[in-house]
Amino acid sequence: MKNILSLLLFLLLLTTSNAQIKHGLRDENGRHVIPRGFVIVTNAGDFKNEDFVRMVRMGANYQVVRLELGKLSNFPGAKFEQSYLEQLERLVEFGEKVGIKTVFKMTVYGVKKFSWEAFWANKNNEHEIYMNAWKKVWHHFKNEDYVVGYDVVNEPRKLTMNISYKDLTNDYLIPVYQKIIDESQKINSNKKILIQSIFMNKGEGVDNNQYAEITASVNRKNIVFSPHIYQNKQDLVQPVMSRFDKEAIMLKAPILIGEWGFPTFAKTDTTLVGNLGQYKYRELYIKTAEVFDQMGVGSIKAWFSGNPSMQNFMPGGPSTWAIFSDKNAVGTSERKYITDIIARPYPQTIAGTINSFLFNFATRTLNVNVTTDNSKGASQIFIGANRHYPDGFSIMCGPDVVLVYNPLKNVGLELVKGLNKTNISNFIWNEKYQQLTILKWPKDNEQLKLKIVPGIYKQ
């Protein structure tokens, strides 16, 4: 009954929000942005510029770089490394070159026997030590426009504390967030602050979801709710997301899914059907992707890396979140039963407001409903033609403007139907990045339906 009520609430929220997606972010020009990309693990290997081009060709416009507290703080077993900041700087620069913006996320890796219980108690100034680690990052990147935000506490835990999740959240987590946010915004108040909820102890999850509910507001501006979802039951994706929606409304914050995607088992790479088969993963990922897109939330997939090793803590055997199957730390061999869903077409940046969008995997059709606003600048749509439209595609920009891309003709976009004042130079196809840029909408300050379909349109 609880799941049915959650589903009904979710559908009601979708119905009542058709006029405008409420979870999208806005960039510095006021354009509606749907963030999508990958978690970057800083110890995964030596990333190069071409790796970031590969990310863009998979639809990334954001990266979330996972920081190690052990290389930035003075906690036991930790030591600040100046070279680590230089490594982070290179990742930001690689992203900037290809239009990818950066969020930094702090993990407690590298700290010898980090204790969440001691952190919450704060008897030895743990909060100050933690914030001093962040301050190194905040000061270093305070004037870097391509660093847009900070996910300040990753998967906080209760563990052995004799306290309810609600009390831990209200009495400890929320005050810590307020303290960190206030310090960060003294340095640059324009940076977004991403917040999460308590990661529940094993076996205490609700609806197969391991993250406790946030029930009190942080009461701070410029925050983003960034929950994780590693759901492996299709029928529970919507109920969990509807709960996140309720929390976001209470927080007065848009949603950016900070991590998602049930981990892949080693045997899945060679198994097509069955409980761990590739078809099951495709169905699960497609269902999750559709719920994300119907809600208009951004999503960050873990991880953009290969898997030189796997973890072995689940009943299905060795598993990984890596999207590449080869043993290289960075990785190049895609798990395409996952990556083709991740790299689905979507509106990345829209001059105006995105009212709704959805990619239909069966028909390979992207439908986007927008309210145009040419004063905000150019719009960008990720199409991913190399994997979704190898036979070419047609762009229907309202009922009166149609463009086509025929890969056999090698002439770029062609205008096959248009208004008298339609200028094809306002439509730019970037083959290298697999992106469509629209410099100016055919009609301004109007409702417009944009559709991308496979094949070549003929009148």
Q: What is the pLDDT of residues 11-68, one digit of tens each?
A: 444 433 344 687 879 999 999 999 999 999 998 889 999 999 999 999 999 999 999 9
Write out pLDDT tens, residues 391-404: 999 999 999 999 99
Which residue has tokens 């981990």? 263
Secondary structure string (H, E, C) spanning 25-88: EECCCCCEECCEEEEEECCCCCCCHHHHHHHHCCCCCEEEEEEEHHHCCCCCCCCCCHHHHHHH
- What's 352-454's CATH class? mainly beta
**Cis link prior to 116 (omega < 30° from 0)?**
no
Distance CA 78, CA 367 (A): 49
Distance CA 358, CA 291 (A): 9
| Residue 394, both tokens | 């047609």
Distance CA 438, CA 264 (A): 37
What's residue 458's pLDDT? 79
Please say whether the beta carbons of 360 and 344 come within 8 A.
no
150: how many CB neighbours lie within 10 A of its CB? 24
Residue 454 has pLDDT above 60, yes or no: yes
Write out pLDDT tens, residues 264-290: 999 999 999 998 899 999 999 999 999
Superfamily of domain 2-343: Glycosidases (3.20.20.80)
Q: Where are the domains of the chain?
A: 2-343, 352-454
